[in-house]
Structure 1
Amino acid sequence: MLRTPFSPRLWLMSRRSLSSSPPHDVKRPRLVGLTPDDYRNGVMLAPMVRSGALPTRLFALKHGAKLVWGPEMVDKAILHAERVVDSVSGTISYNGKQERAMFTCHPIEKPYLIFQVGSADPNLAVQASRVVMNDVSGIELNCGCPKPFSTHAGMGAALLTNPDLLCSILSALRRDLPPHISVSAKIRLLPAQEDTLSLVERIVNTGINCLTIHCRTRNMRPREHALIHRLREIVDFVKGLGRDVAVIENGDCVGFKDAQRIRAITGADSVMIATAAEANPTIFSPSPLTSIEDGFILSYLRLCKYLDNHWASTKFCVSQFKDSKSSNKALRAAVIKAKGYSDLGALVGPWTGSDEFASIKAAIDARTTTPPFSLPADESTPSPPEEDTTTTPSGWRGNPDPAVVYEAPLLPANECRLMVPAGVSRQDPGTPTPITFSTAVPLFLSLSDAPGLNKSWAGVASCSGTRW
C-alpha cells in the first residue's frame, strides 16, 4: 500500500480551509457608537408610545430626522421577550405573550435608533438594555413620562423627585454597558429653576452623552405652552460644567423651520418633535409633504404590510395623520372599517411595500455622503418676550384628565400605605396609586360626614404598617 509522504504545509492548508475563522489579514470592524456630536445640529423624532412604530421611524429618517427614538419599554417586559427575525423583510420583533410584538426595529435604522427604557431599578435597567443593545445604538432612561403606567412603580416622572435612584440607574447603565452603546436621559422641568439646575448637574455627572429636556413640568397639560425660555439658562449651565453633553429641547416644535426658532431662543444643541410628527412624519424636512391623505397614507400602508406591522398599530398611526387638506374621506372611512390589510386591497392597489422600503433604504444609505438636514441657529429670530415663563403657572392643581397623573406620590411607596375610598374622600383621583404617609395617620369617619355610608366603615382607621 502506497502512502503519500506527510506534508505539514498541506496539512496546515487543509486545516485553514475548514476553519470558519476569518483570515488573519482581515481586520474586524471597530464598533463606533454615538457621540455627543451625533446628538447635535438636528431635528429628532421623540419617543412616543404606539405612535413611534417602526414604519413611522423609517419615514422620519427618510425625510430628514437625524435620530429616532423608539417607544418606552418597561424593563421587566422586555426581559421576557423573544427575539424573532423575519426572513423576508429583516424586521426584528421582540415578542411577548401570544407571540405579539412589543417592540420592532430594523437593521437599517440601527445607527440612528435610541431605545428608551422605563425602569426604577439599576440592575433591571442594565439587564433589559443588554437584551436589545445589539439592535440599537443608544439606551435612554425615561425620567419624564407622567402617565400612571410609568409612575406607579416609581418610573418615569416619579424619578424626578428621587434623584439618588435616577442617577444610580444612569451610572449603572454607563458602567455596565459596552462603551459603544450611548447612554442618555430625558427629564421634565422642575417647578423651581434652581432645583432643575441641581438635578441636571447630578445627571450630567453620571457620564451620559445626551440630556433631553421636555420644557414642561410634570403636572402641565400638553395644551399649555412649553416653558422653552427656561432652557437657555440650563444649556449655559451644562456648558459651564465642562461636560461634553448634548442638550435637546422637546416641546411645542411643529417642524424644521420652527426648530430653528426654538434653537435660537434656547441655545439647545438639537430639537425634538413629538405631536407634530405624529400627525405628519415628514415634517423633519424643510419641505414636508402637505397632503398626507392623497399620497403618504397609501405608501405608509404598503410599507406596514411589507414589514408585517401589526394591523392595530398601523390603524392607530394612520388615524393620527392629519393635514390641512383633508379630502380623501373615502380612504379614512375604509381604514376605520378595515379588519386587516386584505380589506384595503381595492383602495391601495398593488402592495408594493418592497419598493417603499427600497426608497427608504436608499435615502438612509445616502447619509454616508449627504448628511441629513443640519439645524443652524437662525440669528434673525426676534428675542423672547418679557412675559414670565420661568415658573409653573400659579394656581395649577394638576391634570383632571384621568389619563395623566393627578396628585400621585412622587416617591416609591413605603410599607405604610392607606387607601381612602372615593365615597369617603369625595374625590376621584386620576390614578389608582394610593396616598403615601411617612407616619401613622388616624382617619376619623362618621355617618354625618358620609351620608349613606355603610356602618362598617364608621369608626377609626389608622395606618400601622398594614397594606390595604
Structure 2
Amino acid sequence: LLIRGTQEISDCFYLARLTTMSGRLSFSNITALAPMVRVGTLPMRLLALDYGADVVYCEELIDIKMAQCQRVVNEVLDTVDFVAPDDRVMFRTCEREKDRVVFQMGTADPDRALTVAKLVEQDVAAIDVNMGCPKEYSTKGGMGAALLSDPDKIEAILRKLVGGVNKPVTCKIRILPSLEDTISLVKRIEKTGVAAIAVHGRFKEERPRHPVHCDYIQAVANAVSIPVIANGGSLDPVKTYANIEEFRKASGASSVMLARAAMWNPSVFRSKGLLPLETVMEEYLKYAIRYDNHAFNTKYCLCQMLRDKVETPQGKLVQAAQTNAEFRCEYFQQVQEEHQVKRDALQTNSLHGRPIMDGDVLTMAVKFERREYPPQITPKMFLLEWSRKEKLEQPTYEMVQRTQDRAFQSTVTVAEKKYRSSLWEKSKKFAEQAAAIVCLRVLGYQRVVSAKRTLVWFVKGRGR
C-alpha cells in the first residue's frame, strides 16, 4: 500500500469495509438502496452506486415468476438477463453491480425460494426475502408482511436458503405490535444463520406518513449479534446525506437503508451533498437508455423524482413520452448505433454468436430448421457417427419441458462435456437436434450445402 496512490489506498479500505475475509458481502456499517417495486431496476441501482451507496437491492421479484425464467447472457448490453417465457426481462444485472446487488424475492415456499436463489446465485452478492411489504402485491399467497404471522414458515424459508446457497442470506421485516414479539421473532431469525436483518420501523398497518419507531429498531439491534439495517427514515429524519448518520445513531442500527429519499433524489447517497434534480434525471436517463430499460418504467421513475413538479412543462413532457428515444433523442441514437456495432460484430464472429458458459453447459442460440437438413444426415446422426469414429461413448440427451407453454430444451453430453441451445423448441426431437448443432459448432463443424441444395454434409471450419 505504501507505494500506491492515495486513491488506490482509499479503494482498498473501501473494499475491506464492504467484504468479510471470505469475500462475502458485509452488511455492517453500510448505506443501501432499499428494495422498491418499479424503482429498484438496473438504472436506479447503478445511479445509487455512482452517488455513494454501498449496497443496492433490486425490486421485489415474485418466486413463481422468477422460477419460469431463463438466464441469458446479453452480449449487446453486457448484461445478464432473466427472461420470462413471454420474453419479458424480469431481472437484469451487470458486472458493475455483481458484488453489491442484493436480489430480493417474494416467497412463501422454501423449495421455490431455493430454486430461484440458485438460479440467480452466480450473478448477485446476496439473497433477501421480503417479509415486510404490506401491499397486496406482496401479501397475496402468504408473502411479504403476511409471513410475520407465520414464524415457522419464516424459519423454514431462511434455513432452506442459508443451507442451499453460497451467498449471504438476509431478510427485511416490519415491526410487530408488541416489542416483546418483535424481539422474539428477530432472535428466531438470527438462529437460522442469516447475515443481517433489515427492519422497517413501522407496524404492518402504518404507512409512510406515520413516524418511524426508532426505539423498536434500537431494541432489535441490542437483541441480536448480526447487523441490523434501519429502514423507514425517509419522511423524517433523512432528507440529506448528513441525516443518514443521524438516523443510524437514533435507531442504534449498524447500517441504514433508504427508499423514498433515494427514489426522490438518489444523490442523497452523495457525501458532497445533493445534486440538482435536472442533473440526476439526465444521468438516470443515460443508464435507462444504455441498458434498454422499459420506457414505462423509465417514465415512472422520472415522475417519482419530479414529485410535485410532475405537472410542470418538463413533467408533462416526461408523462407524454412513450419510448426511451423521446426522453433524450441524441443520446438514444448514439447508444443505438453502439449496440448495432456490437450486434454486427457478434454476427460476424459466428452465425449464431459465440458459445457461452451457463454453469457447466456450453450454450448457443440455435434453432433446428428441419427443412435445412435431409433425413439421411441430421445433426444428431452426424454427431453419433463422429463419436463412434473418435471411440467415445454415444451422445446422451437430457430433456426438460417448460410447463407454461410445453416447449422443450435438451442438453447433450459428449466426452463428459455438456451442450445445449438457449432457445426452446416445440418438440423433443427438435430440441435434441438443436443441442447436437451446438455441440458440432463448438467442435468446429459447420453445415455445408451443395449449389443445388441437393446434398448436405458437415466440414470443419467452413460452411454457412
Task: Indicate conservation of the 8 Å contact 2:267/2:280, yes or no.
Answer: no
Where does 1:34-183 land on structure 2 (aligned, <5 Å)? 34-35=24-25, 38-178=26-166, 181-183=167-169
Measured after TM superposition, the shift of residue 83 of structure 1 is 2.0
Where does 1:387-406 land on structure 2 (aligned, <5 Å)? none
CA distance in 1, matches of 2:337, 2:223: 48
Residue 346 to residue 168, structure 1, CA distance change in 2 (3 Å): closer
Aligned to 2:256: 271
Q: Secondary structure at the match of 1:111?
A: coil
Pair 1:320 & 2:304 matched: yes
Task: Indicate conservation of the 8 Å contact 1:280/1:323, yes or no.
Answer: no
Task: Indicate conservation of the 8 Å contact 1:290/1:323, yes or no.
Answer: no
Measured after TM superposition, the shift of residue 345 of structure 1 is 4.5
Aligned to 1:303: 287
Deviations for 1:312-362, whole angstroms, at most 9, x for unmatched residues?
A: 1111111111389x699444322211211233445868746999xxxxxxx
Greater helix share, 1 or 2?
A: 2
What letter is aligned with 1:263?
A: R
Instruction: Quote the sequence identity (%).
Output: 36
Task: Indicate conservation of the 8 Å contact 1:304/1:353, yes or no.
Answer: no
CA distance in 1, matches of 2:137, 2:332: 40
CA distance in 1, matches of 2:148, 2:332: 50
Measured after TM superposition, the shift of residue 171 of structure 1 is 0.5
In the superposition, the TM-score normalised over structure 2's length comes to 0.64
Where does 1:212-223 land on structure 2 (aligned, <5 Å)? 212-223=198-209
Deviations for 1:4-24, whole angstroms, at most 9, x for unmatched residues?
A: xxxxxxxxxxxxxxxxxxxxx
CA distance in 1, matches of 2:99, 2:336: 23
CA distance in 2, matches of 1:107, 1:349: 22
Partner residue of 1:251 out of 232, 236, 261: 232
CA distance in 1, matches of 2:46, 2:303: 18
Q: Secondary structure at the match of 1:216?
A: coil
Residue 50 to residue 119, structure 1, CA distance change in 2 (3 Å): same
Task: Indicate conservation of the 8 Å contact 1:34/1:182, yes or no.
Answer: yes
Q: Secondary structure at the match of 2:197?
A: strand
Measured after TM superposition, the shift of residue 69 of structure 1 is 0.5
Task: Indicate conservation of the 8 Å contact 1:302/1:352, yes or no.
Answer: no
In the superposition, the TM-score normalised over structure 1's length comes to 0.63
Residue 354 to residue 54, structure 1, CA distance change in 2 (3 Å): farther
Q: Secondary structure at the match of 2:86?
A: helix
What letter is aligned with 1:266?
A: S
Deviations for 1:267-310, whole angstroms, at most 9, x for unmatched residues?
A: 100011001111111111122334112x2222222221111111
CA distance in 2, matches of 1:264, 1:235: 11
What letter is aligned with 1:315?
A: K
CA distance in 2, matches of 1:332, 1:350: 23
CA distance in 2, matches of 1:337, 1:183: 41
Q: Secondary structure at the match of 1:98?
A: coil
When the two structures are aligned, how many residues end up with a matched partner? 315
Residue 92 to residue 173, structure 1, CA distance change in 2 (3 Å): same
**Which structure has more RCO (C-alpha within 8 Å, separation ≥ 6)?**
1
Aligned to 1:16: none
Can you give the 5+ residue segments of structure 1 that lack an aligned partner in the other structure?
1-30, 240-244, 356-468
Measured after TM superposition, the shift of residue 174 of structure 1 is 0.7
Aligned to 2:373: none
RMSD: 2.5
